[in-house]
Amino acid sequence: MSNGNRQLKEEKVFKDPVHRYIHVRDELIWDLIGTKEVQRLRRIRQLGTTFLTFHGAEHTRFNHSLGVYEIMRRIIDVFADRPHWNDRDRLLCLAAAVLHDVGHGPFSHSFEKVFGSDHEEWTRQIVLGDTEVNEVLRRMGDHFPQEVSDVIEKTHSNKLVVSMISSQIDADRMDYLQRDAFYTGVSYGHFDMERILRVMRPTEDQAVIKYTGMHAIEDYIMSRYQMYWQVYFHPVTRSAEVILSKVLRRVQHLYESNYQFKLYPSHFTGFFDGSISLEQYLKVDESVVMFYFQMWQDEEDPILQDLCQRFMNRRLFKYVEFDQHFIMNQWNDLQELFRQADIDPDYYLVIDFSSDLPYDFYRPGEEEERVPIHLLRPDGKLRELSRESELVEAISGKKRTDQKVYFPQDLLETPGHEQEKQRIKEILLG
């Protein structure tokens, strides 16, 4: 190691609406924040299309990454000089906190679904590849970028460090719940983080919570539960995501059909044919996507034109609840009626599923095994949270799902094909 762990001559401070201040004392962290890959996160919203539902939700992945770093810094302050904590891991944790979301693309998960990309894989490439981030990390030694990548990928041998950034109670979740609540203006995401940090303790395998902090953890889990259903899975946000994904799919279809674009999708061709390089990927942020959508409102293709106009001007699809019985019996008929009404069901009739598991205990062998939250009893023994909390037990392992059909009701009101459109409305709207 050369100069990777030097302290700044003067502490740097970011003013933050959620944590009040974010303190940076390490040269390594300050330089990471200044890399172009981390600065790119200023141009990627934290909540994708949610700004079309909650107009305040304009905050970015950059805001969030700084917040996760600050919570991690505070956790480390609590852990200092306690058994099982090694201060040599401090910069590893802080660097992983800053970089945990650095691979996100524009509109995050919507974009990933369309192109089958994986922000965690892009994060790994940014950390390990020919980037400014990698150059800064290597000041700590040639091994350090791989260690940071392993922590973010949850494959690092130090399970305690992994749990601090990725578990059912970690720095990532504690920031985004509060930050997203603040910027959406809702009250659901608030919990007593200061209390949680005071009662958090390191063990060999994970961060645990002192028994006296159980009620603060209950509050945190219920906050998460409410945020998912009131904000993250909001049906209007999902309508915007549906249109966004259909725009991208339409562009890919037109590209593969040799359609003559007025504005050629040069930033997207690598996604279409699977040849996207890291350099190309990093050039695609939300400002780029919004420029294309703005210009594609004037394309000759009527579907692309209409979908872009809907997204840019917030003319979203209507939605209705549906059940499995409906799908089995009426879905094919509904698609055919859309075709007869000259409305392409591939772009204007969409099923959307959402599901969440607010808390789960350890289930060996299951996909995505979740490390449970443990309470540290006064006698030094650990007890899994749902065994002590009736409130948490009531929601443990219960996956809540929501299923909706999205469609453009305005097109059902336009002249032409009245009989088919009336039948569609009878099926969807009752």
Residue ranges and CATH numbers for the domains of the chain are: 7-232 (1.10.3210.10), 235-354+403-429 (1.20.1250.30)
Q: Report the chain's mean pLDDT, rounded to a whole number.
A: 93
Phi-psi region of 128 (alpha: psi -120 to 50; beta: other; left: phi over 0): alpha
Query: Which residues share a beta bridge with 321?
Result: 404
Half-sphere exposure of 168 (CA within 13 A, CB side): 28
Name the nearest CA neighbour of 39 among 217, 387, 285, 325.
285
Q: What is the mean pLDDT of residues 294-301?
A: 98
Residue 369 is predicted with a pLDDT of: 53
DSSP 112-134: HHHHT--HHHHHHHHHHSSSHHH
Q: Given CA atoms 233, 236, 241, 246 in this order, what sign does their dihedral have? A: positive
**pLDDT band with cut points at 50, 70 and 90 for residue 363:** very low
Cβ-count burial of 69 within 10 angstroms (0-12 exposed, 13-18 middle, 19+ buried)? buried
Q: What is the mean pLDDT of residues 375-398?
A: 91
Q: Which two tokens stand for residue 105?
A: 């693309």
CA distances from 166 to 124, 207, 294, 336 (A): 15, 11, 37, 45
**pLDDT band with cut points at 50, 70 and 90 for residue 2:** very low
Residue 182 is predicted with a pLDDT of: 97
Residue 362 is predicted with a pLDDT of: 47
Question: What percent of the chain is predicted at pLDDT more than 90?
Answer: 83
Q: Say whether pLDDT at 10 is over 70.
A: yes
For the stretch 390-411, pLDDT in tens is: 999 888 888 888 889 999 999 9
For the chain, give the number of residues: 430
**Is the model more confident about 71 or about 398?**
71
For the ranges 25-39, 96-110, 113-127, 320-334, the maximum mean pLDDT occurs at 25-39
Name the nearest CA neighbour of 241 among 296, 176, 316.
316
**DSSP code of residue 372:** P
Strands 374-376 and 207-210: parallel
Round to whole Å and give the CA distance between 393 and 358.
11
Q: Say whether pLDDT at 5 is over 80.
A: no
Q: What is the mean pLDDT of residues 65-75?
A: 98
User: Which pairs count as long-range contacts for 284-288, CB under 8 Å and 24+ apart, including other chains?
Assistant: 284/105, 284/106, 285/40, 285/43, 285/44, 285/106, 286/43, 286/44, 286/45, 286/106, 286/107, 287/43, 288/106
**Is the model more confident about 3 or about 416?**
416
Residue 396 is predicted with a pLDDT of: 85
For the stretch 236-294, pLDDT in tens is: 999 999 999 999 999 999 999 999 999 999 999 999 999 999 999 999 999 999 999 99
User: Strand runs (DSSP E) across 301-349, as ranges?
Assistant: 318-321
Write down the number of H helices and E strands in the chain: 22, 9
Q: Say whether pLDDT at 349 is over 70.
A: yes
Q: Are 262 and 295 in contact (CB under 8 A)?
A: yes
Round to whole Å and give the CA distance between 263 and 276.
19
Strands 350-356 and 400-407: antiparallel
Name the nearest CA neighbour of 193 among 211, 208, 163, 173.
173
Q: What is the mean pLDDT of residues 337-356?
A: 93
Residue 4 is predicted with a pLDDT of: 58
**Is the model more confident about 400 or about 364?**
400
- pTM beyond cutoff 0.85: yes
Residue 367 is predicted with a pLDDT of: 45
